[in-house]
Structure 1
Amino acid sequence: MAGLNAAGSADGGVQRRTLLRGAAGWSAVAGMALPLGAGSAGTASAYGWTRTLQQGMSGADVTKLQVRVGGWAAPGAQQTYVAWDGAFGPATASAVRRFQSAYGLTADGVVGPQTQSVLNSLESSDGSSAHFDWSEFYSNDGSGFSGGKVSAAQVKKNVRRLTYKLEAVRKKAGNSSITVNSGFRSIAHNSSVGGIPNSMHVYGVAADIVVAGHTTLQVYKIAETCGFSGLEAYSHSWQHVDSRVQYSSYGSGSWWWESGVV
Structure 2
Amino acid sequence: MVDGSSFAPDRRRFLRGAAVGALAVGVGAVAGSALAAPAQAYPWGGTLRTGATGNAVRELQIRVAGWAASHAQQVYVTIDGVFGPGTFGAVQRFQGAYGLAADGIAGPNTQAALDALTKSDGSTAHFAWSEMWDSYTGGFGGGAVTAAAAQENVRRLMYKLEALRVKIGNRPIHITSAFRGTQHNADVGGIPNSMHLYGAAADMYVSGLANRVIYQHAETCGFSGLERYTIDHQHVDCQAEFGRNWWWESGVI
Provide the TM-score with structure 2 as the length reference: 0.84
SS at match of 2:44: coil
Which of residues 32, 38, 50 is equivalent to 1:55?
A: 50
Residues 19-58 of structure 1 deviation map (CA, whole Å, 9 limit, x = unaligned): xxxxxxxxxxxxxxxxxxxxxxx99643011110001111
Q: How many residues align?
A: 219
Larger relative CO (CA 8 A, sep 6+): 1 or 2?
2
Local SS of the residue matching 1:69? helix
Deviation at 1:198, TM superposition (A): 1.1
Structure 1 stretches of 4+ moved >3 Å: 42-45
CA apart distance, 1:237: 1.6
What is the DSSP-based 3-state SS (H/G/I as helix, E as strand, rest coil) of the residue aligned with 1:125?
A: coil
Q: Which runs of 5+ in 1 are unaligned?
A: 3-41
Separation in 1, partners of 2:227, 2:199: 16
> Are 2:246 and 1:261 aligned?
no
- Measured in 2, the distance between the counterparts of 1:189 and 1:145 equals 12
**1:90 shift after superposition:** 0.5
- Cα deviation, residue 213, structure 1: 2.9
Q: Please tell me whether the aligned partners of residues 38 and 122 of structure 2 are also in contact (alpha carbons under 8 angstroms).
A: no
Distance 1:223 1:138 in 2: 21
Measure, in 2, the Cα distance between the counterparts of 1:131 and 1:122: 8
Residue matched to 2:73: 78
Q: Find the partner of 1:176 among 150, 156, 171.
A: 171
Among candidates 147, 150, 170, match of residue 155 of structure 1? 150
CA distance, structure 2, for counterparts of residue 46 and residue 245 of structure 1: 29
Describe how 1:204-223 pairs up with structure 2 within 5 A. 204-223=199-218
Residue 101 of structure 2 corresponds to 106
CA RMSD of aligned residues (A): 1.7
Q: Are the counterparts in 2 of residues 172 and 222 from structure 1 also a CA contact under 8 Å?
A: yes
8 Å CA contact 1:43–1:123 kept in 2: the answer is no
Partners of 1:238 and 1:46 in 2: CA distance: 34
Equivalent in 116, 120, 135 of residue 115 of structure 2: 120
Is this contact kept in 2: 1:70–1:226, CA < 8 A? yes
* TM-score (normalizing by structure 1): 0.81
Distance 1:211 1:227 in 2: 19
d(CA) in 1 for partners of 2:174 and 2:102?
30
Q: Counterpart of 2:208 in 1: which secondary structure?
A: coil
Match of 1:186 among 181, 184, 205: 181
Alignment of 1:23-42 (within 5 A): none
Q: Does the 8 A contact of 2:202 with 2:235 survive in 1? A: yes
Q: Distance in 2 between matches of 1:139 and 1:117?
A: 31
